[in-house]
Structure 1
C-alpha cells in the first residue's frame, strides 16, 4: 500500500473569483458614474409620477427620462409599478391598466447603461398619505442599509446576508421576496460573465460587483415595496 498522501484538489481561479470577474471595459469611475446617473434618473422619474396616471404611461415616461439623460435602455425592462402590481415578482408582467390613486404606493426599477457600464437601481415612493405604504417603503430602504452594513461590518457571505434579511423582514412584519435575490453588475453585459444570484453566493461579495435587492411584501398580499442599489461601503451613501 502506498504511503503517499494525496493533497486536496486546488481550484484556481476559484468559483468566487470567476463569479466576480469583469469585462475589459470595467472601471471604478465608469461604474460609479453609471450608478450616480441611475439614482438621479430614479428621482427624476418619481418627480413626474402623479395620481391618476396609468402604469403603462408611467413606463413610457420613465423611458423618456432615461433617454434624455443620455442613458441606454439596457438589460432588463424599465419598470414603474403601481398599487397591486408592487407585489409582483419582476419577471411577472404587471396587470394592465392600473391607475395610481390619490393615496398610493409605487416603485421604480431601472437598469440603464451609461456608455460601457451597467447601472441598476430601484426605490419606492408614496403619493398622498398612507401609513402602511409609507412604513413599507421606508422599511425596504432601511433593510437594504441594514444588510449592507452587516456585509461591511462582518464580511458576511451573500447567503448569510439574505438569510439575515429574511429574518429582519419578518420581525418588521413583512415577507421578503426571494425571487429578487441580488445579482452581478459590471461593464456590459454582466450576464456574459456570471448569472448567479447574490443570495446563493457562498463567499463574501466584493464591493462594486453586486446589486443588493430588497423586495418586501405585505403578508396579506395587498402591496409591496422595493429598494436596490450597488453593494458599496458607507462612504458612498
Structure 2
C-alpha cells in the first residue's frame, strides 16, 4: 500500500492489503447470497436471521457491525437509526443490505440496494447509488483530493443526477480488526488524500419526492 500519512490511517501488525481484498470479496459474495434469499413476503427480521446463517455458512470470523437489512421506507434510515417496525417486503419494493464482517482478521464492509417487481423509480434509485459510487471512486483514482473533496464532489454529482445525497453518511475507516482503536473519523471529514485499502466510501440517496432511498458502499482500493 502507499505511504501512511497520519495516525488516522494507522494499521495493526497483522494488516495486509491482499487480505483486505479477500475480506472485500467475501463480503460481496455474502451480499449476493443473502440478496438471493430475500423475497416478497419476508420480514426484515427474517431476512436478518437468514443473513446471519449465510455468514456462518461462509465461515466468517465474526460480525463487526450489526447486519443491516432495510425494506421500503426504512431505506431512508441511517446506520444509527432503528428501523420503523418489522416491515414485510412487498412485490414492488426496494431493500438494501449493509454488511460489516471480519474475514481472516480483516474488516470487510460493503452494501448494495435491490428491488422487487418493476417500479422504474425504485430501479433507477438503486442504480443511481451504484453509479454515484463509481463516479466518486473514479474521481478518487484520478485526483489526489481529500476525503472532504470527495464528498463535496459526491453531493454535486447527486444533484446533477436528480437525487438527494445524505451527508450524514460520510464513510469511515477499516483495517485489521478492530479498526476503532485507530479513530480515523469519517472519510468525508478527512483533510488528506485517502490511501488505498483503508477507507469505505458510503453513498446513501433519497428519492426527491417518494419515501425510499438507496445505499451503496465499498472499499476504496
What is the rounded CA distance, in whole Å, between the counterparts of 1:79 and 1:132 in structure 2?
23
* Aligned residue among 172, 180, 196 for 1:207: 196
- Aligned residue pairs, count: 218
What is the rounded CA distance, in whole Å, between the counterparts of 1:218 and 1:145 in structure 2?
19
What does 1:179-190 align with in structure 2 at a 5 Å threshold? 179-190=168-179
What is the rounded CA distance, in whole Å, between the counterparts of 2:211 and 2:159 in structure 1?
16
What does 1:1-237 align with in structure 2 at a 5 Å threshold? 16-220=5-209, 222-232=211-221
User: What TM-score do you get using the length of structure 1 for normalisation?
Assistant: 0.89
What is the rounded CA distance, in whole Å, between the counterparts of 2:39 and 2:202 in structure 1?
25
5+ residue gaps, structure 1, are 1-14, 233-237
What is the rounded CA distance, in whole Å, between the counterparts of 1:219 and 1:136 in structure 2?
10
**Which deviations, in whole Å up to 9, do the C-alpha atoms of 1:52-87 show, x marking residues without a partner?**
101110011111111110113422100111001000
Q: 1:176 touches 1:217 (CA, 8 Å); kept in 2?
A: yes
**Which sits farther off after the overlay, 15-24 or 104-113?**
15-24
What is the rounded CA distance, in whole Å, between the counterparts of 2:210 and 2:171 in structure 1?
22
What is the rounded CA distance, in whole Å, between the counterparts of 2:71 and 2:45 in structure 1?
10
Q: 2:62 touches 2:103 (CA, 8 Å); kept in 1?
A: no
Select the structure that is richer in strand: 2
Q: 1:56 touches 1:96 (CA, 8 Å); kept in 2?
A: no
Larger Rg: 1
Q: Secondary structure at the match of 2:33?
A: helix
**Which deviations, in whole Å up to 9, do the C-alpha atoms of 1:181-211 show, x marking residues without a partner?**
0000100011101240000001111010100
Q: 1:87 touches 1:221 (CA, 8 Å); kept in 2?
A: no
Give the superposition deviation at 1:97: 1.9
How big is the alpha-carbon RMSD for the aligned residues of Structure 1 and Structure 2? 1.2
Q: Secondary structure at the match of 1:34?
A: helix
What is the rounded CA distance, in whole Å, between the counterparts of 1:121 and 1:72 in structure 2?
16
Give the superposition deviation at 1:16: 4.4
Q: 2:9 touches 2:184 (CA, 8 Å); kept in 1?
A: no
Give the superposition deviation at 1:219: 2.3
